[in-house]
Amino acid sequence: MGRLGTALTLFFKILFNRETAEKAQAVLLLPAAGEAPAPTTKPEPPKPAEPPKPAVPRGVDALVLLAALQREARFLDLFQEDLSSFADAQIGAAVRDVHRDTKATLERIFGIERLRDEEEGTSIAVPAGFNPLELRLVGSVGATPPETARLVHAGWRATKCELPKWNGQPEAAKILAPAEAEV
């Protein structure tokens, strides 16, 4: 007998035989007649998938810094310009503004300060076991460090690093400053 014949036979046995109906209910896990159906938990609807975030281009932090220096200090305008046709006085005037604004931008982002307080050109003590990351000996350096040396450069340190966050599209990451057209 095929499945259809089995289904019809079982249908009529369940319909007319109480014992067969109870067995079928138990097998199918149906509530018995007169019983309230067991509460069913509705499956939670699937959460909509978040759209994929655009991939952050490699080196984007450096590009963000360069864009900030251009935006706030016109840094690239100075260094990408051919200065050979300008007089020294014109260059000096332009550099003064770029220098002031670049210094302010670097201070805001990095909190830059001198590593050493002594004046350059003065003699400083070189302690035993000094940190070579903070003091580099140059010139005629022997096998054992000297006790004193002349400070050639005071060094710099950053007290913070608060780069602006990049939140653009991947194709826009390398745009440091848009072209400008006056209307």
In tens digits, the chain (183 residues) has pLDDT values of 678 778 777 777 777 888 888 887 877 776 666 666 556 677 788 888 888 776 777 888 999 999 999 999 999 999 999 999 999 999 998 899 999 999 999 999 999 999 999 999 999 999 988 899 999 999 888 778 788 899 999 999 999 999 988 888 878 888 999 999 999
Domain span including residue 153:
115-126+148-162
Residues 112 and 77 sit within 8 Å (Cβ to Cβ):
no
| Residue 21 resides in a domain | no
| Per-residue confidence (pLDDT) for residue 33, from 0 to 100 | 60
β strands within 37-172, DSSP E: 112-114, 123-125, 148-150, 156-158
pLDDT over 70 percentage in the chain: 93
CB neighbour list of residue 37: distance below 8 Å, 6 or more residues apart:
31
User: Would you state the pLDDT for residue 40?
Assistant: 63
Q: For 24-38, what is each residue's pLDDT tens digit?
A: 787 777 666 666 655
Determine, yes or no, domain membership for 181.
no
- Structural domains counted in the chain: 1
- 180: its two tokens: 């400008």
> Is 122 part of a structural domain of the chain?
yes
Q: Is 153 contained in some domain?
A: yes
Q: Which residue has the tokens 């079982």?
A: 10
Residue 18 lies in a domain: no
Determine, yes or no, domain membership for 121: yes
